[in-house]
Copies of this chain bind each other. A is one copy, B any other.
Amino acid sequence: MPRVTIARNILAANEEIAADVRRRLAAAGVRCINLMSGPGAGKTTLLERSVARLRGQLAVGVIEGDIETSLDAERIEAAGAQVVQINTRGACHLEAHMVRDALETLNLQRLDLLFIENIGNLVCPAAWDLGEDLRAVVVSTTEGDEKPAKYPQIFAAAQVLVLNKMDLLPYVDYDPERVCTQALAVNPGLQIFALSCRSGEGLDAWCDWLLAFTSKRSVTTARETPYIMGGAGS
């Protein structure tokens, strides 16, 4: 069936380019996270807050993927990161060749950590290797707590799960434990952070982990617990 054959060829070509991206980033000493979520889970706000908190400790770059507009890139740039905008003009996920092209406009020697903010889509990005070291998926407390069961591929493809908008928990029917249980059933190795970009709850643990991930700080307790719910106090 030609459709499957060609899809395989495209994915194989993507993997070759992703391997090239991975080599270039490793050679420059840049760690890379592919950030994925459905629309509006808070990827951009998480990046804004992370970039601002890590300023002076970590040089962060962002490849910002959107179907249209440069609204998100402008927000991230204002927070103090090197940014490149990719507009896919309708495509539902980023592919490795887009990242390879975007690298040309970044000064890798000046970066410690590169985020790739994927298109807001909880389905298609899961299949595409972008040359990242790690994939993080963001869900929010307003999306319903059955997402890992309904969209298992993206949770299986990630190493980190961020549960965002914890400040809205009192106003929604959402059980964070249910989400964690479902996510760990799909992927027992997932590291989970619960936080709120609005209140700041949990952002310290997340930023500590980013520093450890980029070897700018020794490994924190993050690896000792299956997941971190909220900040240090909860």
When distances are taken between beta carbons in the complex, the residues of chain B under 8 Å from A165 are 142
Contact A120 B168 (CB under 8 A): no
Give the docked Cα–Cα distance between A69 and B151 (Å).
9
Contact B69 A149 (CB under 8 A): yes
Contact B124 A124 (CB under 8 A): yes
Give the docked Cα–Cα distance between A152 and B62 (Å).
23
Interface string of A49-81 (1 = CB under 8 A from B): 000000000000000001111011000000000
How many A residues touch B, CB cutoff 8 Å?
40
The answer to whether A188 has its CB under 8 Å from any CB of chain B is no
Given the interface pairs A2-B6, A6-B2, A142-B168, the reply to whether A39 lies near B124 with Cβ below 8 Å is: no
Give the contacting residue for A121; candidates B123, B139, B147, B167; CB below 8 A.
B123
Give the docked Cα–Cα distance between A146 and B40 (Å).
9
Q: How many copies does the complex hold?
A: 2
- Residues from 80 to 123 in A contacting B, C-beta threshold 8 Å: 90, 92, 119-123
- Residues from 124 to 174 in A contacting B, C-beta threshold 8 Å: 124, 139-140, 142-144, 146-147, 149-153, 165, 167-168, 171-172
Closest 8 CB pairs of A and B: A40-B143, A142-B142, A92-B123, A38-B39, A40-B144, A39-B122, A38-B38, A92-B124
When distances are taken between beta carbons in the complex, the residues of chain B under 8 Å from A10 are 3
